Amino acid sequence: MNKYSKVLLTSIAAVTLSTTFLETPGLNINPTQEIVVSAKAKQATLVPGTYKVGSEIKPGRYSITSSDGSSGNISSTPKKSLHGDGINEILGSDPTMAQVPSVNATLRKGDKVKIEGLTSATFTPVKKRHKKNKSSLTTGFWIVGKDIKKGKYTVTPAEGQSGNFVVIPKSAFGDSTNEVLGDDTDMSQVPKVNVNLHKGDKVEVSGMTQVNFAKR
């Protein structure tokens, strides 16, 4: 076999290997589609108590709700405080009492989760993340480029609601935001805030059911 033939066969093998990798089940390689979440998250319903992620709760991304519509507290303490999602919400159906119907968060092995006042809480695995979204986010923790498109936005709370809106930049030179959105200016609330979201930035929405994004 001559030198040219060997090079040709090597190139074919490399292309075959690359194609096999790209077609691996569970990977979303179409940039125009939603991100499919592949994680160990598993459906669970838990009564009040304190739980460690990795035992009763599998690591992964969840939408957490009250199982029967009752109201109560859901909180979490991340094992890695600088990188984890620290939940502190009142689950329920009355937004005038700062209750939210659900909260989305990524739970990592070693995090602690506490349920109080609820009959039970249901942890539902999140199967898709909408990276082309540019309209709204509900209560929880979100990543720019996975849950909302990067860009410049004016952010407002859902009508009649108030709560915290936080942006933690991925880059040390990024733009951070920490505002209480709402209509009560006497309580240092602001009706809107302009942000410039970059890929990888982390967004937190708490104490309100939703924030809306308008391109600017």
Can you give the pLDDT at residue 26?
Answer: 37
Q: How confident is the model at residue 11 (pLDDT cuts 50, 70, 90)?
A: very low
**Fold match, 42-127 / 129-216:** yes
Can you give the pLDDT at residue 91?
Answer: 98
Q: What is the CATH number of domain 42-127?
A: 2.60.120
Can you give the pLDDT at residue 181?
Answer: 98
Instruction: Return the minimum-mean-pLDDT range out of 73-82, 97-106, 162-171.
Output: 73-82
Can you give the pLDDT at residue 20?
Answer: 36
Task: Render pLDDT for 133-150 as a digit per residue (tens, 0 to 9).
Answer: 999 999 999 999 999 999
CATH label, 129-216, candidates 1.10.10, 2.60.120, 2.40.128, 2.40.50: 2.60.120
Strand partners, 151: 197
Q: Give the domain ranges of the chain.
A: 42-127, 129-216
Taking residues 182-205, what's their average pLDDT?
96
Q: How confident is the model at residue 39 (pLDDT cuts 50, 70, 90)?
A: low
Can you give the pLDDT at residue 24?
Answer: 35
- Average pLDDT of the chain is 87
pTM across the whole model: 0.82
